[in-house]
Structure 1
Amino acid sequence: MLDKKADRTPPNEAAVETGDGKAKAPANINLKSPAYYISRELSWLSFNERVLHEAIDPRTPLLERLKFLAIFSNNLDEFFMVRVAGIKKQIEAQVSRRTPDGRTPVEHLQAIGQKLRPAFAKQQECFLQVNAQLREHGIQLLDYDDLNSKQVTYLQSYFEDQIFPVLTPLAVDPGHPFPYISNLSLNLAVVVREADSEETHFARIKVPKVLPRFIQLPKSLQSEDTVWAAVPLEQVIGKNLTFLFSGMVVEEYYTFRITRNADLFVEEDDADDLMLALEQELRKRRLGGSLVRIELQSGTSPEVLSTLLTEMHLNEDDIYEVTGLVGLGDLMTLIGLPLPEHKDPDWSAVVPSPWNHINRDDADGEGDDVFSIIRRRDRLVHHPYISFSATVQQFITQAAADPDVLTIKMTLYRTSGDSPIINSLISAAENGKQVVALVELKARFDEENNINWARTLEKAGVHVVYGLLGLKTHTKVALVVRKEHDGIRRYVHIGTGNYNPKTARIYTDLGLLSCNEDLGADLTDLFNFLTGYSQQKAYRQLLIAPITLRERMLALIKQEMTYGTEGRIIAKMNSLVDPEIIQTLYQASQVGVSIDLIIRGTCCLTPGVEGVSDNIRVISIIGRFLEHSRIFYFHNGGNVQFYIGSADWMPRNLDRRVEAITPVLAPHLRRDLTNLLDICLADNRQAWEMQSDGTYVQRQPQPNESERSTHEQLMQQTKGKPAY
């Protein structure tokens, strides 16, 4: 399928031919025009709407629908903490610079509100519908007002014993200033009065995060057909406020939640100790920066609303009214309920046949360790279909224990708190090996974890490096140097995802395991660049950002232009934002190059525009796994070139991060990648097609056509895949 040309409209009449008969791009179209660029922020919101659709889609199991509602909320939290906060900062600084789509910061903020509010309301409506359906199946997230007398008595007792001692009501009056409201905190705005007075008083109660968000009722208080029943914590607090305000009359209470700017700002040039500077910034983040949003219970009285907006210096544009439950991100906890009939079928990652022989007698006599497996031929692992722990994790674990391994070097961007990878590096250092870990302290929202890992690793004798000034080290690479009978050999892992066994179960990522000499030499040079003063400017096979990646990617696109209508590009990634890359793709389309883009999230390119992007198609795949792998395919006149790696086509990845993209040269692995892309492009269940106006339409199976889900097909295919 990769070589098959999709149907295309006739070439633009303004196009001319070059002397060799190849089509040439029309000269009268301004490819920098804002008309051909989608707003990064609005495109991201469209992505989150596709996530929300998985919650709305009745084909999604009920508890999985709750999960997607939670993901939609958590995604929005980060969007406001980073993207909206950044736009507001620009507005405060009176920045009027327009983005490639032609909008100023003020126009962007207005457009975000206009696009987001209908989706936000749709999420609330979806929650009410799903909750009603869950009740039909005995899964009851109840309202306090619907409880019977025995259940109310139980919760009153539970409140007195478990909740009341933890709460701290904070009055607001001339002697008590309005309290600081922490980021992402859930709160109650309470109005009380003295029994013999009409004068009201305002108080705030923070819903404590140390308690479960949903208070489960005991089995004895549930009906026979109930599987699980609980009440939101804030309702239990709200209905028992008289315990907190003894002698007062509770007039009303409302739930609200706030979001603050949480993006860190560290002046690396001025920081003598980057770790110390980051720790200081993290303390500020715990308090949070300026407020950017308030989620507010629908029906909040005008007086309470006015108090909240005035005291927190917000305006009405910052309000997002909630008709159901405030803070739907907490629904994620319910996916843990032991109710498999309401979840996706369990998936156990497959251990490929050769890896099953590790530490056992190997029937073919070629060895029984990861190194012999890699020596036989290059290996491509695709998580979560192929087991991360049995392959990549095993690679690092065995390297740590192998007496012939001299050195282990790897980059750590994000990993789990109890990571076996971290433990293996510590073990390797204790075994006397030379161990280098480049820990990226500036990985957003993982800074604190990474600081803790760095300290732990340093105490064990690991050489810890924090990256380069002004650059994030986002690349996912590991290098193992081993002494063998025929000399020193270098083994490499170059991947698209983090060394995180937890996310490896839900993110789709690729990794190349090889002992290719050029790749080993390139990673040696890369680590020298990262840890020392090397000014390496050229690499044998790897494409490295910010050194060679942008230039090489542009060259690969332009290379396809020389083949005209025989040119073919397929690129799969998380985001496509970079204006120069987009403009070059437009130029390639104008000369007839067939281009398919598989972009999960943000896509600022506009496909299907006559004379500009007629030959470009964009799809987004959303489903049970998060599409995270990056694959780049260039037909190159039949001499196909495949690349995988850590970088999206975004300015930050190309210019402000250290990234590594590796060619995939082995024919059997290229066949695997071809199969993967074919499955993605043929998807008619999870794929959404981007239209020329920036909207997306979900593909549906045609009459008499079977459903083709990328994730389902790959799971089934992996189960039946022969040894490789």
Structure 2
Amino acid sequence: MEKKILDYTQNRELSWLRFNQRVLQEAQDLSVPLLERMKFVAIFTSNLDEFFMIRVGSLHDMEALGDESIDRRSGMTAAEQLDEIYKAVAPLYKERDKTYAEIKKQLSPYGVCGLSFKELEQQEKKYVKKYFKEQILPVLSPQIVDANHPFPHLLNNTIYVTANLKQGNKSMLGIIPLPDFISDIVYLPGHDIRYIRMEKILIEYMELIFDQYEISDKNYICVTRNADISPDDETFADDADFRKRMKETLHKRRRMAVVRLETAEPLTKENEKYFCEKFQIEPKQIFRTKTPMKLGYMFAVAEKVPESMKRSLIYPPFHPQEARMVTDGSIMKQVKKKDIMLSYPYESMEPFLKLIKEASVDPNVMTIKITIYRLAKKTRLVEYLCAAAENGKEVTVLIELRARFDEQNNIDWSERLEEAGCRVIYGFEGYKVHSKICLITYRNRNEIQYITQIGTGNYNEKTAAMYTDLCLMTANKKIGEDAAMFFQNMSIGNLDGEYDQLIVSPSSLKKNILSLMDEEIAKGKNGRIVMKMNSVTDMDFIQKVSEASKAGVKVDLIVRGICCILPKVPGETDNVSVMSIVGRFLEHPRIFCFGNGADKKIYIGSADMMTRNTEKRVEVACPILDPELKTWVTHMLKTMLNDTVKGRNMTADGTYVKRGREEDGVNSQEVFMHEAIRESRNKSVVVEHKTIFDKIRAWMRK
């Protein structure tokens, strides 16, 4: 068997690491405000944490099981992929350390200072020592490891301060976990934002904690554990409660195998050997970092910046604007007259929430049905759904309890919804429900009618102000009938439903997308394909893209993250361009566009072209039928394709390059922000003029 099957594909894990390097490049961009650059370092860090927990964790399992299967995109076994990952990650650590140090240095003149203990002023040292003795020392749980005290279980993604201890002729290891309930940093008194990290304080005062020992080799470490658990792989009784199953799965995640060890200081040979034995890892899985292992606190630091410095350190404030297509009054009435689309975060999620709120009290509404994948910790959507149930509506919520790292949040919401009288159902064995679809059924005289909402992103009110997404609300009868059939199929466990307008995985989405691509292939050089997604890994899709390229079809792929197809490979993907946009907001919409002119077909939906989405998830894509909306989406795609500021082109070797001069270039996200602000202001002027005219008419009537 050949190692590499296709010349125009690359390994998905290495592709992801290149994407994360793109995130780090935003931290290096001098045009980005300093604290925003530091946030990108934090995002890079948390991304890498999740990569090791999930992707490296999965490969670790395959290697441990002796799985010799070959990755179809790169010809590598799991063990070979892991070796390449470790090689690729090491220089990224160095690049991150350099980037972090440079930003930290540049923040200092603004009074935003993360300090070491040596850098503290005398009064600050007194303050920290008092704080340590009163607030930290009483809640610490230090422990020693020797013949009588076994090595403890170290929790995933938790920082531990360590040191070698000696008492007479006896040597041992000292370990202090940083408790979850204490702050990551301690702010120092004064007007500036000066702070010191908690692990630095613990290292400084280890002599007070282990006061009877000689202390050497102070360090702090963090283990990353495999978190790639699928509840479907577990053995449960047929009648097991699914919520209980998920709770057991989450508990198991805490004890999974270690896949990475991070250290702040170089380990001695003895300590390296010791930790490798305890964690059952190899030295290549140990990474030293000069950057803080946890940087989430930087978002809180940014919030503390005084108004006088915000212009210099953070992005100018932007709040989602009023939707251009929505006027005052009932949202339900407006959707019944015309399809409405919202573009997050440029426009507010408010019209959709208002739609659900209206439906919850409308006497003609009979049912509300919705699929939920992720929700915010606080959400009005659940309030409105519960209110609808309490008002006698039949409310069905298909909630996916396996939304990774949101499992507990979804368990909590499912219980709240059930308590209010909603009918709560879950996903399927082996298939996550990732679709974003909501159906309102109402009676108009004696006729059953529908309002359907299809989205590209989650019903999460927090991320709707941070992620770019599209939300379509339509009263189209055929789409509504499809949505009604979809929810019926979900209720009876039928994954093979047939639909007229909607395309749904795992049954029809990939088949229909490939068929639409075939239509463009038949046109040859007159064919056109533009698709925007988060990731591309599906081999059937990749091969169809190559087929389109060979037929002369111009193919543009806007792919934020993983992309396993390589563009511009001679004879294979000559007519394929791949670009990535990483900017202020997280790019998230999935848009599939086929053809040119009036015959153009556009779909939006929840699915990436990944095998997991096309074959192992329930996804929904919906056609854009309204000509005005098709023009709008086409404009968005064209603007993104012309982004020369935040856009990068992928080359034939999988690396990314700038798209030319950024000066006076196009920043697509800024274009959309300015357009949303302009449309909102125009609406305000129209409303103001209407109010004046109404007053004049009322005066004249008098």
TM norm structure 2 = 0.93
How big is each residue's C-alpha offset from its partner over 1:462-489, in whole Å with a ceiling of 9 and x where there is no partner?
Answer: 0001022321110000001122347332
Tell me, yes or no, if structure 1 residue 266 matches structure 2 residue 234.
no
1:511 and 1:628 map into 2 onto residues whose CA distance is 12
Q: Tell me: CA distance 1:83–1:354, structure 2 relative to 1, closer, same or farther (3 Å).
A: closer
Which AA in structure 2 matches 1:386? E
Deviates more, 1:693-702 or 1:449-458: 693-702
Which of 653, 661, 665 is the matching residue for 1:693?
653
Q: Tell me the SS of whatever aligns to 1:720.
A: helix
Q: 2:158 aligns to what?
A: 185
Aligned match of 2:318 in 329, 347, 371?
347
d(CA) in 2 for partners of 1:238, 1:497 = 43
Report the Cα distance in structure 1 between the residues aligned to 2:128 and 2:591, rounded to whole angstroms. 54
Whichever residue aligns with residue 565 of structure 1, its letter is: K
How far apart are the structure 2 equivalents of 1:531 and 1:441?
Answer: 16
What SS does structure 1 have at the residue aligned with 2:412? helix
CA distance in 2, matches of 1:638, 1:666: 11
CA gap 1:584/1:417 in 2 versus in 1, 3 angstroms: same
Instruction: Establish whether residue 159 from structure 1 lines up as the match of residue 132 from structure 2.
Output: yes
Structure 2 counterpart of 1:290, from 251, 254, 257: 257
Counterparts of 1:461-500 in structure 2, within 5 Å, are 461-485=421-445, 487-500=447-460
1:308 to 275, 281, 284: 275
Deviations 1:363-389 (A, max 9, x none): xxxxx211111122101111001101x
CA distance in 2, matches of 1:267, 1:603: 27
Provide the rounded CA distance (Å) in 2 between the counterparts of 1:603 and 1:438.
30
Distance in 2, matches of 1:538 and 1:232, equals 56
Deviation at 1:709, TM superposition (A): 0.4
Cα displacement string for residues 669-707 of structure 1 (whole angstroms, at most 9, x for unaligned residues): 0010011001000000000100011111022426xx612
- Give structure 1 regions of 4+ aligned residues with deviation exceeding 6 angstroms: none
SS of the aligned residue for 1:77 comes to helix
- Cα deviations by residue, 1:20-77 (Å, 9 ceiling, x for unpaired): xxxxxxxxxx998332211000000011000011111111111111111111111111
Give, in angstroms, the shift of residue 356 of structure 1: 4.8
Larger displacement relative to structure 2 (112-121 or 261-270): 261-270
Q: Distance in 2 between matches of 1:160 and 1:249?
A: 21
Cα RMSD for the two superposed structures: 1.8
In structure 2, how many angstroms separate the alpha carbons of the residues matched to 1:653 and 1:32? Answer: 24
Equivalent position of 1:67 in the other structure: 39
C-alpha distance in 1, partners of 2:108/2:222? 26
SS at match of 2:7: helix
Pairwise CA distance, 1:306:
2.8
Q: Which residue among 196, 200, 207 is the counterpart of 2:171?
A: 200
Residue type at the aligned position of 1:632? F
Is it true that 1:171 corresponds to 2:138 in the alignment? no
Pairing partner for 1:241 from 206, 215, 227:
206
Indicate yes or no: 2:82 matched with 1:105: no
Match of 1:710 in 2: 668
The answer as to whether partners of 2:143 and 2:176 remain within 8 angstroms in 1 is yes
**Distance across 2 between alignment mates of 1:674 and 1:113:** 41
> Does residue 122 of structure 2 align to residue 122 of structure 1?
no
Between Structure 1 and Structure 2, how many residues are aligned? 673
Q: Which amino acid in structure 2 is aligned with residue 43 of structure 1?
A: S
- Aligned position for 2:28: 56
2:529–2:595 Cα contact (<8 Å) kept: yes
SS at match of 1:350: coil
TM-score by structure 1 length? 0.90
Range with bigger deviation, 477-486 or 55-64: 477-486
Q: Higher mean Cα deviation, 42-51 or 276-285?
A: 276-285
- Which residue is equivalent to 1:645? 605
User: Is the contact made by 1:560 and 1:636 (CA closer than 8 Å) also made in structure 2?
Assistant: no
For 1:277, the equivalent position in structure 2 comes to: 245
**Aligned residue runs from structure 1 range 666-685, under 5 A:** 666-685=626-645
CA offsets 1:628-667 (integer angstroms, 9 cap, x no match): 0011110168511010000111111111111110000100
- Mapped partners of 2:567, 2:625: distance in 1: 30
Matched residue type, 1:294: L
Matched residue, 2:19: 47
Segments of 5+ residues of structure 2 without an aligned counterpart are: 687-702
Say whether residues 1:375 and 2:353 are aligned partners: no
Q: Deviations over 1:519-543 (max 9, x none)?
A: 1000000000101255763211000
Distance 2:300 2:255 in 1: 25
Give yes or no for contact 2:160–2:222 (8 Å, CA) kept in 1.
yes
Cα displacement (A) at 1:145: 1.3
- Bigger drift between 631-640 and 72-81 goes to 631-640
Which residue is equivalent to 1:9?
none
Question: 1:328 maps to what in 2?
Answer: 295
What secondary structure does 1:488 align onto? Answer: strand
* 2:215 alignment partner in structure 1: 250
Q: What is the rounded CA distance, in whole Å, between the counterparts of 1:326 and 1:417 in structure 2? A: 25
Alpha-carbon distance between aligned partners in 2 of 1:634 and 1:44, rounded to the nearest angstrom: 27
Which structure is higher in helix share?
2
Amino acid aligned to 2:119? D
Aligned-partner Cα distance in 1 for 2:66–2:603: 42
Aligned equivalent of 1:149: 122
| Aligned equivalent of 2:184 | 213
Q: Which of 594, 597, 603 in structure 1 is aligned with 2:554? A: 594
What is the match of residue 440 of structure 1?
Answer: 400
Q: Kindly indicate whether the alpha-carbon contact (under 8 Å) linking 1:69 and 1:331 is maintained by their aligned counterparts in 2.
A: no
Residue type of the alignment partner of 1:174: A
- Give the 3 Å change call, closer, same or farther, for CA 533–74 of structure 1 in structure 2: closer
Answer yes or no: is 1:138 the counterpart of 2:111: yes
1:649-668 aligned at under 5 Å gives the runs 649-668=609-628
Q: What is the identity percentage for the equivalent residue pairs of Structure 1 and Structure 2?
A: 35
Matched, 1:76 2:34: no
Q: Secondary structure at the match of 2:183?
A: coil
Equivalent position SS for 1:36: coil
- One-letter amino acid of the structure 1 residue matched with residue 78 of structure 2: P
Alpha-carbon separation, structure 1, partners of 2:102 and 2:563? 31
Comparing 346-355 with 517-526, which one deviates more in the overlay?
A: 346-355
Q: Per-residue CA shift, 1:333-388, capped at 9, x if unaligned?
A: 3232234221111111111256451xxxxxxxxxx211111122101111001101
Post-superposition offset of 1:266: 1.8
8 Å contact 1:569–1:596 — kept in the other structure? yes
Distance 2:447 2:272 in 1: 73
276, 282, 285: which one aligns with 1:318: 285
Residue deviations 1:384-436 (CA, integer Å, cap 9, x gap): 01101x21111112211222211100001000121111111111101111000
1: CA distance, partners of 2:323 / 2:286 = 52
Identify which of 50, 56, 63 aligns with 1:91: 63
Distance 1:392 1:519 in 2: 18
Partner Cα separation in structure 2 for residue 700 and residue 353 of structure 1: 33
Check if 1:614 corresponds to 2:574: yes
Q: Which residue of 2 aligns with 1:560?
A: 520
Q: Which has the higher contact order (CA 8 A, sep 6+)?
A: 1
C-alpha distance after superposition, 1:227-275 (max 9, x if no partner): 2100110111111112212233323310111100112232378442222
Structure 1 distance, partners of 2:121, 2:597, is 73
The separation in 1 between residues aligned to 2:428 and 2:624, in whole angstroms, is: 28
| 1:5 match | none
Q: Distance in 2 between matches of 1:720 and 1:345?
A: 16
> Counterparts of 2:495 and 2:166 in 1: how far apart (Å)?
71
1:438-587 paired onto structure 2 within 5 Å: 438-485=398-445, 487-532=447-492, 537-587=497-547
